[in-house]
Amino acid sequence: MTSKPKVVDVHTHVYPPQYVSILKSRSKVPYVRDTTPGQPSRLIILPGEDDPSSESTARGRPIGPEYYDINKKIEFMDTHGIDISVISLANPWLDFLDRDEAKGLARDVNDAINSMCDAHPGRLFAFGALPLSAPSEVIVDEIHRLPTLKYTRGIIMGTSGLGNGLDDPELDPVYQALEQENMTIFLHPHYGLPKEVFGPRAADYGHVLPLAIGFPLETTIAVTRMILSGVFDRFPKLSVLLAHSGGTLPFLAGRLESCILHDAHYSGPGAKVESRRSVWDILKTNILLDAVVYSELGVRAAAKASGADRVLFGTDHPFFPPLEAAEGEEVKWLSVTTNYKAIGEAFGPEKEQAEAVLGGNAVRLLRLTTD
């Protein structure tokens, strides 16, 4: 008898209790802000989100137990037919901590998230977090500790690296350790684009510009800088899962490759770069794309760019909850049903490909078994 295909969510976040305590103890971004009595606290994490001139809808988001209570994650999974979740710390991870705090908290957070997985065996796996403000030896030590955490299969990180982006040669020891330990990087945006890009009326549009445009472009620029600086030539086995289907990378990959082929820095007689792997090769070998793109068109582009065997279902829980659900009411989230529908439509009668994207790819690529 064949078993039912598994549904795996690779893009789903949590803040463990010790991280929430830090957010509650702070009064500048990132922090949790208590508002009017009777109203839920607000989670203020994005750059510029704390501007008092902003409309209230652009000033953070309500934070409830779905952000830190792992039982709420399991309830959400059950409601949405998700068998396994690969949980990761939500942004801004440990980026804002000073070097001494970062080292200790990375260990605590990684242990706490691994323990959450242990409490629900078979249902949860994890991406850890790195103490990126600490010296690189400390970061590398934490990477080498990750395989001792039974459920950890990679790390989540943002686009700032050690402070100078992901094309920084100082990151090479980090990439080398991740490659050696077979730990996937889940590359996730947080910083968006400079606010000037969105103009003086940006706050009138809530979070739409930074989330719909800033986030995906931030990811696109970060991974493009990795490609251009030769990270994947130096670390050909490095595995990078890009949030939100790679931003705009699937759509722009052809233009990127063409610009490289027409740039004297990379190509032609005086080229400064001796050899390089093509963007298409990197997409099909090193890059994994989540399917958090909310449209058939986006899922098809992702599958065309990296292969349907490298696209992985995700939800972005607990972000993007339904705006109108009553407290405690069990409803399916539009953000999730839209992504299910997009995968179904993208593959049509190719049921096996849809099943692979919904879970099989994640089980295989992230080794989601415990024996």
Residues of this chain that interact with ligand URA (CB under 6 A) are 13, 45-46, 90-91, 211, 316, 319
Q: Which phi and psi angles does 290 have, rounded to 5°?
A: -75, 170
**Residue 91, token pair as written in the block:** 């942004």
Q: Residue 133 carries which DSSP code?
A: T
Per CB under 5 A, the list member of 316, 346, 354, 359 interacting with Zn ion is 316
* DSSP secondary structure of 180-203: HTTPEEEE---S-S-GGGG-TTGG
**Residue 101, token pair as written in the block:** 């705090």
**CB 230, min distance to ligand URA, A:** 29
Residue whose C-beta lies closest to ligand URA = 319
Residue whose entry in the numeric block shows the structure tokens 């010790």: 18
Number of residues in contact with Zn ion, rule: CB under 5 A? 1
> Which among 309, 111, 143 is positioned nearest to 238, based on CA atoms?
143
The site partner of 125 among ligand URA, Zn ion, none (C-beta below 5 to 8 Å per kind) is: none
Let me know: does 226 contact 175? Beta carbons within 8 Å: no
The site partner of 228 among Zn ion, ligand URA, none (C-beta below 5 to 8 Å per kind) is: none
The site partner of 155 among ligand URA, Zn ion, none (C-beta below 5 to 8 Å per kind) is: none
**CB 211, min distance to ligand URA, A:** 6
Nearer CB in complex with ligand URA: 208/297: 208
Nearer CB in complex with ligand URA: 319/347: 319
How many whole angstroms from its chain centre is CA 347? 24
Let me know: does 241 contact 212? Beta carbons within 8 Å: no
Please tell me the distance from the alpha carbon of residue 286 to that of residue 23, in angstroms, as a whole number.
Answer: 34
Let me know: does 249 contact 298? Beta carbons within 8 Å: no
Let me know: does 125 contact 151? Beta carbons within 8 Å: yes
Span near Zn ion by CB under 5 A; candidates 52-60, 107-115, 309-317, 329-337? 309-317
Nearer CB in complex with ligand URA: 29/287: 29
Residue whose C-beta lies closest to Zn ion = 316
Handedness of CA 172, 178, 180, 184 (dihedral sign): negative
**CB 252, min distance to Zn ion, A:** 21
> Which among 286, 289, 241 is positioned nearest to 127, based on CA atoms?
241
**CB 277, min distance to Zn ion, A:** 28
**CB 101, min distance to ligand URA, A:** 21
**Residue 146, token pair as written in the block:** 């990750």
Task: Check binding of 218 to Zn ion (CB under 5 A).
Answer: no
**CB 365, min distance to ligand URA, A:** 21
**CB 316, min distance to ligand URA, A:** 5
Touching Zn ion, residues 1-60 (CB under 5 A): none
The site partner of 310 among Zn ion, ligand URA, none (C-beta below 5 to 8 Å per kind) is: none
How many whole angstroms from its chain centre is CA 80? 20
Let me know: does 219 contact 189? Beta carbons within 8 Å: yes
Nearer CB in complex with Zn ion: 13/103: 13
Nearer CB in complex with Zn ion: 83/316: 316
**CB 217, min distance to Zn ion, A:** 15
Q: In the complex, which residues of this chain contact Zn ion (CB under 5 A)?
A: 316
